[in-house]
Structure 1
């Protein structure tokens, strides 16, 4: 927002020409204002309705001045939106071009979220959240060493002091806009948004030049479309997920244990088929992360076209609404002796339930074992994590804790009753 100062004379002369007023009529008004030291367009914002009346300025002129000042303020705000969006876009490119850029990006965006959110919800008299110490190791690691992140802080109102970055005044409209902007990026890289509570009323500096609208019925709320309202979308997603969880809890699941014997001839083909499901599951997170990371640049470009921007939370809601709902997960456990144990689980059950299921069929009760995905080998633990990510089907492998895997053990691993009821797979 740098540039030459617009003088009161130039401002009113231009306004008079646009309205068709002769210069001779506007000149006395210019003289009155400049004599009172209101010599710039910016200084005219300080005048109240009473001051305009005291100066003898016609109401028609004062209203036109206030409207034009408000229009200029909106134009400056739009320029700021584009400028901060451009800075965030450069910040994304900066991280994407570096090793371990995704993790560093998450840490920086999360820190920006916290800084802006704390300002948005704090009393403006308390300036502690607006003073960021340069010597703070965490701040320096996540923000201070990234020059574009510092540029962004300065753009939203921070100044560079000797030992701190400090925001002397708070423009709550700008802060809330900045929070929305950073939240959009956060959601695209898997971070939760930080939303200012609805009941929280952010202070607003009185602006006498901002057009006022008097409601004829103050009890009648204004109804706007909430199609892209992030709070409404978040609530809709939460409600939909709660419905999915309730459906899963209400679904009765029979374990239906089955043991398969895999012959030498069809081992590779059978495991390749079963492993394909596991491969898709295990690769999904990496693939989605990379896709999201690369798509952030496109998303931020679209962000500058505000009317066309499609919020990721809205896409998430649409995905939840259209995707198939899984209430069961088919878990298969592969043993080194070419046997395969299969059971059906509710997605509301846990990894601990899988361990209990396998333990109940082992030939050697009480012996410690572990289950894992492969390749690469990733051990799962007997935790209370639910099985949503295991649906619709997942293949795990079995190993004893006390056996060197390079030597192996031939088994049998499952008890005799299981083996007697086993089926040939092929």
Structure 2
């Protein structure tokens, strides 16, 4: 790559003049005159050149043949400054495209050599282990299956999970809550028990939110075609038949559940693994899922690297450095952390880049036999992490992969000689490649 860049940075006429020198040497056979990339200026008046031996007959024929070929070709027009700029831009673009292809190719690694095969999640409804691409479809299917058991709960899950715009969800929930509150306050008023589906508010605020109609039907509303005064054709209404006080209390409870509802999200599976002591503990090969780089950001990587030297020589303010650090942290969605234990064994887990430090401590604690005992985690450079820190892992520079050191708190160090992992983890201990 360095060779490619250095060649691309040569003057455009470098090769052209070199060929001219070679051809000139073949004709003149003047070995004592060095070949130069600069054109030689010939003075008509000046000291006579030193006499050189005449070239051989074979050399003269070869030189004459070469000159004949060159003179037989069409002569290129004189190069202008605009041509030079254009060619320089083309060379730069060519190099950038090649480097981008190399960067893209470097992110595709043989799965056999990866430190972790991928990023996995657990469905909170079924307990199934899912890949990143499987999450959304699996959760939707699980919610639809829940209708057979509890239609109200399933419809609440739909409202809060299937709609990404939280403001629209809130607006729809507020209107549905108003419907139910009016019915509970005026149980005998028929007008509050009917929702005209062509109503503008319903069309714009409720119908557009997936799961809203399912919820209304789950709490007792039925679809009925009713005549409308002044219209020839009937229209569809959602109508709630008369309920006793107990049924109305159940409806109010369903409304409260709707208001407190949360999206159903697959939980990151830390995929705990254990490894024997190994000199490869600091060797990490990560799959593409760990990175948050778009194709355009990937193309800018080379440009950022080329600017790194210049940036390091500049006097930058603290604010500038912080912005660069934040930009760097946002490149990663996940982080792979390894913890070297006192007995040399290594515990590994996958985390969200924005997980709090306390999540890491809880993961380690859950993996140890004596996890209830106080312990410390030391990051590279000797920085001690504190469980009470309200900092994310990426804010502590623990992305995209880091080896940490575990040590028992000094108060219990004398009583515990090693951090013993739970038998279920030691059963599948592996060797780092």
Q: Give yes or no for TM over 0.5.
A: no
State the structure with more CA Rg: 2
TM-score (norm 2): 0.28
TM-score (norm 1): 0.28
